[in-house]
Chains A and B, each alone.
Chain A
Amino acid sequence: MNLALNLVAVRTIIRKEMVRVLRIWVQTIVPPAITMTLYFIIFGNLIGRRIGEMGGFDYMQYIAPGLIMMSVITNSYGNVVSSFFGAKFGRHVEEMLVAPMSYATIIIGHVAGGVLRGLLVGLLVTIIALFFTDLQVAHPFIMISIVLLSSIVFSLAGFINAVFAKKFDDISIVPTFVLTPLTYLGGVFYSISMLPEFWQNVSKANPILYMVNAFRYGILGTSDISIGHAYAILLVFVIVLFTGCMVLMQRGIGIRE
């Protein structure tokens, strides 16, 4: 493999992705900012004042990390699935497939694009959150590493969705019927310690719970789960999903006749 060629190619894909995100900023940046502002106003401010404290923090403070993580996850996933499926649908994915870069480069470039959009939106939501509450970062390394790993996981998942998708409906099924329910049930708005033991155990099967709680631990220093488990789960997902992406590309499933 020609390393220099692949480094240029991955930079090119990332640049292409960023140009796309910024070109359609009304679709990529503005909606999550508005949605999260509404969450902060309605759940954090209006309803949160009646709820009081959760886990030793104001309700607004408690939900802020989860909302930031939720926006990172959905935007990382959404960026890769829409960009790669769009390239397949318009057939300009062939520009990349005929080029001598490796399949890993194509995957890494798109995942990096997803991560950058996720982080950009996450940063924007964090700034919005600071208008409503005070956030101190308890464990910066954990916060940054968890948000990065989570973003990578959902970018890879978005890539797989895009590979299998045959029509535009197929790229909205997973976010609507899988991602959103798992995120809402992943401890964004509540601590699972409030749930009966059975539902606590059910919740622990939800990988997003670990991401949200580990990220919350990075900011607030409080979590319902073990941080070690969160890292282990994230690393396993990264390895499994990246391997899955590579297999799909090498076999040409969904991209070659």
Chain B
Amino acid sequence: MHALTIKNLTKTYANGNQALKGIDLTVEAGDFYALLGPNGAGKTTAIGIISSLVNKSGGEVAIFGHNLDKELEDAKSCLGIVPQEINLNLWETVGNTMINQAGYYGLSGKLRKERVEKYLRALRLWDRREHIARSLSGGMKRRLMIARALVHEPRLLILDEPTAGVDIEIRRSMWDFLQEINEAGTTIILTTHYLEEAESLCRHIAIIDEGTIIEDAPMSTVLRKLQREVFVLSLDEKLAQAPALAGFKTRLRNDMDLEVEKGPDTNLNDLFAQLNAQGIRVVSLRNKANRLEEMFMHLVENKGAEA
């Protein structure tokens, strides 16, 4: 079952800007899917069309088999949206924001109360239910938008940069929460500029650039395409110069940190064997940059050419 099917989706704005140039996407039910792209690539336009907040110029969108043109209300019932920008009624209380959203989806009575409490507690906002949204911190507003999008328990949840401007502690707790609801069966589409977030959460990735999909594959497949990786090794003794290692490029960042660039035909066992042979002991190892970030930059710069 496809959670989302997009066929030849196009959008040209009144000013002539062609935001989407015929994109095709299929998201499987239960997937955790990353939709990435640089600013202005067309991500938010695509999400706007899926959530029926933006009129499309052409193409088709179906959510769990419900075509937006023919079964709009059924399609909307399956969908929860967390937009990029804060779109809360800032004068409404947290509790009323949730009650209203539940009501818009036809929830009433005991079920509505239960859902409101369930998701406000899950997003750690229950104690704030009598406060107006305006009084919440930025992170709390983001959490309220997630709780609001979940109150009708959608089968497909789309989050457009949900952790933008959120501190690392809250971000990590939001990751845990999103993983929980994904494991419980909710399909999630995530857009984010934090690529480590996409890499750690998502199983499938699509990259959109200038209104075109330039990559659409499982995360593991995308990462395997990475031709080079740069590691930073912290050493336990100072080195005067970078050691020569066959199959690797090396550079000293400082006398205790060694940068090693690894190609596709070498592995870390070779690296450590050579370091051992030269009596160089490594205290710790880390990627110089996030792997997905390197891949993303490569793809965007090369517009989808094989890495």
Contact = CB atoms under 8 A, between A and B. Distances in A.
Interface in B187-217: none
A96 B74 CA distance: 15
A2 B106 CA distance: 9
Interface stretch (A8-16, A36-44, A191-199): A8-16
Given A100-B76, A257-B53, A257-B54, A8 B103 contact: yes
A50 interface: no
Nearest to B104: A99
A87 interface: yes
A11 B112 CA distance: 14
B73 A94 contact: no
A13 B105 CA distance: 12
Given A8-B107, A257-B53, A102 B73 contact: yes
B203 to A, nearest CB: 25
B96 A16 contact: yes
Contacts of B79: 98
Interface residues of A, number: 31
B101 A95 contact: yes
Contact of A97 (B52, B74, B108, B148): B52
Contacts of B72: 100
B51 interface: yes
Contact of B73 (A19, A100, A257): A100
A193 to B, nearest CB: 48
B105 A92 contact: no
B88 interface: yes
A205 interface: no
Interface of B: 13, 45, 48, 51-55, 72-74, 76-77, 79, 81, 83, 85, 87-92, 96, 99-108, 148
Given A20-B91, A100-B105, 17 more contacts: A4-B106, A5-B106, A8-B103, A12-B99, A12-B102, A15-B103, A90-B90, A94-B51, A94-B81, A95-B87, A98-B79, A99-B105, A101-B73, A252-B55, A256-B54, A257-B13, A257-B53
